[in-house]
Every structure is written in structure tokens, then in C-alpha cells.
Chains A and B, each alone.
Chain A
Amino acid sequence: MIPFYFGSRERKLFGVFEPAQNGGAKRAVLLCYPWGYEYVNSHRSMARLGTLLSHTGFHTLRFDYYGTGDSGGEDREADIEGSRRDIVTAIEELIELSGVERVSIVGLRLGAMLGVAAACEKPHLVDRIVLWDPVVEGGQYLQELYNLDDSISIPGVGPASYFSEELGGGREVMGLPMTHSVAAGISDLDLTSRLAQLPHATYAVATRSSHLQRQLQALLEQRADGSAFERLDDHPAWHEEWPENAGAIPVAVLNRIVSWLK
């Protein structure tokens, strides 16, 4: 496991590279985290997936978008278009580190959507895509986040603050600023239309069902390239119902992702 910073001096990105073990080394996987509160909740599962893939013979890289996690930038400097570009930077970094010609992308929640958006820009650098509990429609996801924050019932927690334009506008959502820029960027995202442009074999795995995921399922099942949609009964890695599933890792999902990529 090699933690390191990459990217430019102005846009330092923190990543963890795990070289392929057990005689592998011909394939590489980039893991794309979710956003906001889902990032912290899912870090444990994403780290475990990275290690599993590495032990299975894949080079893996996971990294924090600018303005998130250990990467440079403050919370308000994070933005959707910038995160998409960060994924492109990470794809190129992983290719350089591993020596492969193309990488697979595993994206969780908004990371799935951003991964697909990045693959649209560099389709020749991507071979397969895994969508893990993907956000399908940005506008609906945004509303779900607002509703979730508005329904917080925790001792000591008051209503969300709204920010001035100097601070980027918008409001707090689950502990982080949802600036006007980020909200607009999320609203513009639509997974199925982007995915229809991509020729890559795609596997989607969902731990919760929704009508939007059924649209995604229909899209993937039309394809004859090995694409698939699967519903698995497991924990949502990105959402913590404390204390019921605190720290729980969705082992069935991780194993299924690894076996599909193999």
C-alpha cells in the first residue's frame, strides 16, 4: 500500500496505490469514492475493496477529489466538474504507475456517475465499469440529500445554515457545504444518458431498489457485451444507521464486484 500525492501543485490529490499481488499485474482498477457524508461512511469498504482487488491481481488506486478527504483544497473548493477532471487525472496516474493501457473504474454512488462522465472523455483509456449503488439522476439525489438533512433528529442539531454568496451560496447538507456550484453540477448529471454513449461492459450492483435503478437495469440488460445489473441484499456501505451497521462492510457486494472484474 503506497499513500502519495499526485496531480499538480495547485491541485494536489491524495491517493493510495496498491500494487497487484499474487502474480497479477496486467489489469488495473480505479476506485471512485462517493461525495459528502457518504465518503466517510464508505471509506472502510472502499479500502477493503482496494485490498481485495490487489490480492486478486489488480493494481488499484483510490483517491480523494480536490477539496475532499486528505486532498488539497478547502471544503468549498470542491466542485463536480473539478472532481470529474480529477478522475481523468487519476486514470492517467494509474496507467503510468501500473504500465497497463486501460483501466477499469469502480464508482460508488456519485462516484459511479462521475466515473462514467470521466470515461466519456477518455473512452480509449477505460475497459470496464462497475456502478455500485449508483446515483442515477442528479436532481433526485440532491433532493434526497436535502430531505435527509432536513429530517435529522439528533440531540443538539439545529436546522442547516444557508450561506452567503461570498461563501458560494447554498446550504449545509449532512455536515458539508452544498454550494450553488456543487448543487448545479449534481443536478446536471444523468447516468443513463451518459452510459448509453459508452461501449464498455458495465456491471451495476444495487443494495437498495428504486425505479431509477430499474431503468438502469433495462438499459444494461439490452446490451450483448456482458453488461449486467444485480440486486444484492447487503448493507449500503455509504449510509450508516448508527449503531446498527456502524463500520459494517458489505462483503457480498465486494466479492461480487471482484468476481465480475475477474
Chain B
Amino acid sequence: MLGQDEALAAIVTRPVMEAHAPAIIILNTGVAHRVGHHRKFVTLSRRLARAGHTVVRFDFPGLGDSPAMTTDASLLEGNLFAIREVANWIEQAFSIDRIIMLGLCSGADQSVIYAGRDTRVKGAILLDPSIPRTRRYHINDFSRRIRSRALWTNFLSGKGRIWDYTRSLFRKDGAVSVSSRQFSRPNLEHPEAISFLEGVYQGAIDNGVNLLGIFTAGQEYQHNYRTQIVDALPKVHFADRVSLHFLRDCDHTFIRESYRNYMYSLVADWLLSEFPDDRSPNHGVASGDDIESMEF
């Protein structure tokens, strides 16, 4: 267990031979524990360790194997504090003072927020971070829907949102029925949300952080093209600090092995291009004897 209260459950995977490549901290996705859906963060950690990186996967307080903490801080501030404790521990234990953050969904959002607050962070790998929808998003979405067989099937059979809305106009109370599949999410298109996100991303860039953004089709209700983040946050000077990918045939959790392997290769290639002088002599070796895992 890491942290000043030894309350953060963590697994460290690292090369057996001494390595000086930036350490990588992987954050929880939602409430899933540090292993990640389909065990992808375990596999990714082992691959990155073979490439010379020390990788720490840990559970935020109250998730996975980390007990909840009693604190007055907000959930976000508590989690950012936990990340700082892990970064401090990495620096003390391994003398590595360069950090790369990695996370999916909420983990991506917290990664980029933290990236602007710690000068040790040199990179952030963001898988499906939350970004506002744009005019081009809506055009793409409309175009996709109009070509969808399901839309026309529903329309002709009297099902779907269009008919729900139409029926509500003739109902006495005017209430629109809510599908059980709908769920609440923050309104990222609100000017305050956009301003907040612009501050977060500009803060990371100003801190010298390079960004890898990988977006999947699994979040089609939020993003649907590669450069959406640039259009959505116009005040951020991304310049050449961001590398973007949109995976059209991939879901949000990378359920298929081929999707995961492609994501792993994008991450590895980006690390190689951004940190070319930090390769381990073991880079590319696929046996299990060149890395070790330790629990904390």
C-alpha cells in the first residue's frame, strides 16, 4: 500500500534491469479496479515495462483494493492528491522524476487535469477523454443517423425518439417519456464547461506536457471525428503538442483483442517518438523474465 497513510493499493511493473525512461501512472476507469476491463491495463503495463518503463497501476481511495478515506476534499481533489502521492513515491523509490499519465474516460480526464499541476508530468495518454460536441460533430451524427437502417425501421414502425416526442405533444401533461437507456452526463457544451476544459488542456500544454489522444467510436454520443478536441476547445494552443487518433471500429472499453493490440501499438509508437533516448536494452523482448511485478 502506498501513500502517507498506506491506503493506496498499487501494482508496480518494471524492467528488472535499471531503466530511466519516464514512469507511467495508470488511473482507474470509472469504478473498475486497476486491472481494467478485459485485463488491458495488466497487459499494457507488462508491454511498457519490457520497453523500459516503470508502470504503476493503483486504485483511487474507495475503489478496488484501496479503502475509502475520510476527507473534506472533493472527490476530484482527493484523487489528484492520491496521484501526487504515487508520483512522489515513484521519485523516492526509483529516482524517476518524469511521469506520463494514462487513463480511459474519467481516468483520461483526471490525467490531463493532473498534468497541468505537476511539473514532473511530461506526457498524458488520453483514451476517450470527455470533450464537448461541435457543429461538425452534429453534422456527422445527423449524417450517420440518416443513413442508419434502424432509424428508418423505427420510423416506419412507430418506435424511437421521434415518435416518443410526437406522442408527447398530444399528451395532456406534455411529458416526454425517458428511455431506460438514457443516462445523465455533464453538459460539456456549456460555456463554463468549455472554459474549464480549455484551462485544463492549456495548463497541461503550458506545463510542457505532450498529449496522445485516442478516441473510439464507442463514445459516439460525445465525439465522432479525430480532430474534434481541437475544434471543441478553440482557445487552446495545441500546436504540435498533441497527437490524435480516431478508431472508427473500436468500442469504449476495447473489448476485442485486435482493438487492444492496436491501442497498445499506438501508445508504444508515441512513447518511442516522444521519448526516443530512453529505450531499455530489453525493448522488444517478449519473455516474462525481464520484468517484475510488485504489490504495494
Which residues of A pack against B, CB within 8 Å? 1, 3-5, 12, 14, 16, 37, 40, 43-44, 47, 51, 68-70, 72, 74-75, 152, 154-158, 160-161, 172, 174-177, 243-244, 246-247
Interface residues of B, count at CB 8 A: 42
**Chain B: CB-nearest residue to A153:** B150
Complexed CA–CA distance, A244 and B11 (Å): 30
Of all chain B residues, which has the CB nearest A78?
B39
| Least CB distance, A2 to chain B, in whole angstroms | 8
| Residues B65 and A243 in contact, CB atoms below 8 Å apart | no
- With A3-B65, A47-B65: A70-B42 Cβ-Cβ less than 8 Å: yes
Query: Which A residues are in CB contact (< 8 Å) with B218?
Result: 154-157
Write the B213-224 contact mask toward A (1 if CB under 8 angstroms, else 0): 000111010000
Of the candidates A37, A75, A174, A247, which one forms a contact with B43 in the assembled complex, judged by CB atoms under 8 Å apart?
A: A75
- On chain A, the residues within 8 Å of B295 by CB distance are 3-5, 14, 70
Q: What chain B residues lie within 8 Å of A12 (beta carbons)?
A: 293
B254-296 vs A, Cβ < 8 Å mask (1 yes, 0 no): 1111110000000000000000000000000000100001011
Closest A residue to B220 by beta carbon equals A155
Contacts of B31 in A (CB 8 A): 44, 246-247
28 contacts across the A-B interface (CB closer than 8 A): A5-B293, A12-B293, A16-B65, A37-B37, A37-B38, A40-B35, A43-B32, A44-B33, A70-B11, A70-B34, A70-B35, A75-B39, A75-B43, A154-B251, A156-B216, A156-B217, A156-B247, A158-B256, A161-B258, A172-B256, A175-B253, A175-B254, A175-B255, A176-B38, A176-B39, A177-B257, A246-B30, A246-B31
Most buried by A among B36, B247, B254, B257: B257
Q: How far is the CA of A152 from the CA of B248 in the complex (A)?
A: 17
Given contacts A3-B65, A47-B64, contact A157 B33 (CB under 8 A): no
Summed over the interface, the residue pairs from A and B with CB atoms below 8 Å come to a total of 102
How long is the Cα–Cα vector from A74 to B287 in the complex, in angstroms? 11
The contact of A43 among B64, B216, B259, B288, by CB within 8 Å, is: B64
Taken together as a complex, chains A and B put the C-alpha atoms of A51 and B65 apart, in Å, by 10
- In the complex, whether B69 has a CB less than 8 A from a CB of chain A is no
Task: Establish whether residues A161 and B257, one from each chain, have CB atoms under 8 Å apart when the complex forms.
Answer: yes
- A1 and B67 in contact (CB under 8 A), knowing A40-B35, A160-B256? yes
- 17 additional contacts, CB 8 Å, given A4-B295, A154-B218? A1-B67, A37-B38, A40-B36, A40-B37, A44-B31, A44-B63, A47-B33, A47-B65, A69-B39, A69-B42, A156-B220, A156-B247, A156-B249, A156-B252, A158-B256, A175-B254, A176-B39
Neighbour of B248 across the interface among A47, A156, A176, CB < 8 A: A156
- Smallest Cβ distance from A158 to chain B, in angstroms? 6
Dominant secondary structure of chain B at its interface with chain A: loop
The 4 A-B pairs of least Cβ separation, nearest first, read A175-B38, A156-B217, A247-B31, A243-B183
B33 CB contact (under 8 Å) in A43, A68, A152, A161: A43
Chain B stretch 32-57: residues in CB contact (< 8 A) with chain A: 32-39, 42-43
CB neighbours (8 Å) of B254 from chain A are 175
Interface of A is mostly: loop
B9 within 8 A of A: yes
Whether the pair B257, A156 counts as a contact (CB closer than 8 A) is no
Which A residues are CB-close (under 8 A) to B251? 154-157
For B1-44 the 0/1 string (1 means CB < 8 A from A) is 10000000101000000000000000000111111111100110
Chain B min CB distance to A71 (Å): 9
Q: A158 near B249 (CB under 8 angstroms)? A: yes
| Residues on the A chain within 8 Å of B248, using CB | 156
A3 to B203, CA, bound (A): 36
B180 within 8 A of A: yes
**B125 contacts chain A at the CB level, 8 A cutoff:** no
Report the bound CA distance from A150 to B288 in whole Å: 33
Cβ–Cβ contact A161 & B180, under 8 A: no
Q: How far is the CA of A40 from the CA of B40 in the complex (A)?
A: 11
Which partner residue on chain A sits nearest B38 by CB separation?
Answer: A175
A16-B65, A154-B251, A155-B220 known; A172-B257 Cβ under 8 A: yes
Q: Say which residue of B183, B247, B249, B256 sits within 8 Å of A175 (CB atoms).
A: B256
0/1 per residue, B119-143, Cβ < 8 Å to A?
A: 0000000000000000000000000
Please measure, in the bound complex, the distance between the C-alpha atom of A87 and the C-alpha atom of B31, giving whole angstroms: 27
In B210-237, which residues have CB < 8 Å from any A CB?
Answer: 216-218, 220
Q: How far is the CA of A243 from the CA of B180 in the complex (A)?
A: 9
Q: Are B30 and A155 in contact (CB under 8 A)?
A: no
Residues of B within 8 A of A5 (CB): 293, 295
Question: How far is it, in angstroms, between the C-alpha of A43 and the C-alpha of B29 when the chains are bound?
Answer: 14
The CA-CA distance from A1 to B67 in the complex, in Å, is 9
CB distance from A189 to the nearest CB of B (A): 22
Closest to B31 in A: A247
B250 within 8 A of A: yes
Residues of A within 8 A of B64 (CB): 43-44, 47
Bound complex: CA A86 to CA B130 (Å): 40
Q: Which residues of A contact B11 (CB under 8 A)?
A: 14, 70
In the complex, how many angstroms separate the beta carbon of B44 from the nearest chain A beta carbon?
12
